């Protein structure tokens, strides 16, 4: 039996591809990471002209998804201009700001999102709370250069956050290592009002040693939310 949450992930992912991907125009497609994006890759893999598309991954899992669905794998180096990118999110606010990086893929996700002309989020209804930090209680993921982590822990505490280095356990003793060889610090700032997300992100990226943060500030133009009742809510960013 598929759970309601799993069904809602599939519904919103399929809807996003059906509505926003124009197979006659879009040729370079960004494919994000996580459990919801699995269904985006599946749907893109069902397109009749899939051999004409090039898909740009956001990490190891994403590469595997692209290949598993018979799609053509490309790189950001070859295709720095992406027609449309799809990705999951850990939480979405009323301005479509997102927390991402629950799966430690935030750096390459942000790169792909930044290169995309259109950036579309897919998520189940638990993520659509209106305020970042309400549902996603483990904190904002921050990717840091390994040798900088103690200095950044101190800086984050001074900023009022509660930071912890993400462990690799149970699969690995020691810290979680990202696809880029870095550490992740999860920093709880409590609820982050939409008007304060950019300010917080600016402070975080200004810390030397921080590579990127999981705060995606006004990057998404659309979000498709899969609801437990089988409906999908489409949200568009305000101009």
Ligand X SMILES: O=C[C@H](O)[C@H](O)[C@H](O)COP(=O)(O)O
User: Would you count residue 35 as binding ligand X (CB under 6 A)?
Assistant: yes
User: Would you count residue 93 as binding ligand X (CB under 6 A)?
Assistant: no
Distance, CA of 105 to CA of 93 (rounded, Å): 20
Paired tokens of 134: 């309400």
Of 226, 220, 232, 227, nearest to 94 by C-alpha is: 220
DSSP letter (8 states) at residue 79: -
Of 125, 95, 87, 88, nearest to 196 by C-alpha is: 95
Interacting residue with ligand X among 10, 15, 79, 100 (CB under 6 A): 100
Largest CA distance in the chain: 54
User: Would you count residue 21 as binding ligand X (CB under 6 A)?
Assistant: no
Q: Which residue is nearest to ligand X (CB)?
A: 34
57-88: b or e for each residue (b if 16 or more CB lie within 10 Å)?
bbbebbbebbeebebeebebeebeebbbbbbb
User: Would you count residue 125 as binding ligand X (CB under 6 A)?
Assistant: no
User: Would you count residue 89 as binding ligand X (CB under 6 A)?
Assistant: yes
Interacting residue with ligand X among 15, 66, 90, 223 (CB under 6 A): 90
Interacting residue with ligand X among 104, 116, 140, 144 (CB under 6 A): 104
Which C-beta is closer to ligand X: that of 149 or that of 224? 224
User: Would you count residue 36 as binding ligand X (CB under 6 A)?
Assistant: yes
Query: Catalytic residue among 64, 81, 95, 109, which?
Result: 109
User: Would you count residue 88 as binding ligand X (CB under 6 A)?
Assistant: yes
User: Would you count residue 113 as binding ligand X (CB under 6 A)?
Assistant: no
User: Would you count residue 105 as binding ligand X (CB under 6 A)?
Assistant: yes
Which C-beta is closer to ligand X: that of 35 or that of 164? 35
User: Would you count residue 101 as binding ligand X (CB under 6 A)?
Assistant: yes
> What are the C-alpha distances in Å from 190 to residues 39, 84, 92, 96?
31, 32, 15, 18
Does residue 109 have an active-site annotation? yes
Distance, CA of 78 to CA of 57 (rounded, Å): 12
Which C-beta is closer to ligand X: that of 83 or that of 87? 87
Binding site for ligand X (CB under 6 A): 32-36, 87-90, 100-106, 109
**Residues designated catalytic:** 109
């Amino acid at each position: 039996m598929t759970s309601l949450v799993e069904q809602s992930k599939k519904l919103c992912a399929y809807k996003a591809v059906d509505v926003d991907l124009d197979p006659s125009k879009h040729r370079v497609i960004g494919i994000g990471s996580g459990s919801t994006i699995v269904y985006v890759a599946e749907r893109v893999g069902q397109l009749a002209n899939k051999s004409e598309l090039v898909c740009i991954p956001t990490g190891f899992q994403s590469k595997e998804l692209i290949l598993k669905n018979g799609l053509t794998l490309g790189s950001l180096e070859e295709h720095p201009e992406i027609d449309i990118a799809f990705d999951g999110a850990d939480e979405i606010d009323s301005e479509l700001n997102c927390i991402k990086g629950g799966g430690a893929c935030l750096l390459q996700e942000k790169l792909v999102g930044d290169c995309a002309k259109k950036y579309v989020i897919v998520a189940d209804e638990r993520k659509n709370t209106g305020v970042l930090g309400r549902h996603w209680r483990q904190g904002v993921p921050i990717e840091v250069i390994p040798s900088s982590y103690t200095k950044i822990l101190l800086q984050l505490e001074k900023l009022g956050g509660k930071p912890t280095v993400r462990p690799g356990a149970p699969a690995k003793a020691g810290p979680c290592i990202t696809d880029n060889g870095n550490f992740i610090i999860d920093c709880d700032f409590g609820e982050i009002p939409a008007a304060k997300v950019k300010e917080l992100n600016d402070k975080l990226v200004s810390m030397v040693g921080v590579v990127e943060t999981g705060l995606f500030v006004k990057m998404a133009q659309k979000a498709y939310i899969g609801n437990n009742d089988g409906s999908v809510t489409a949200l568009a960013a305000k101009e």
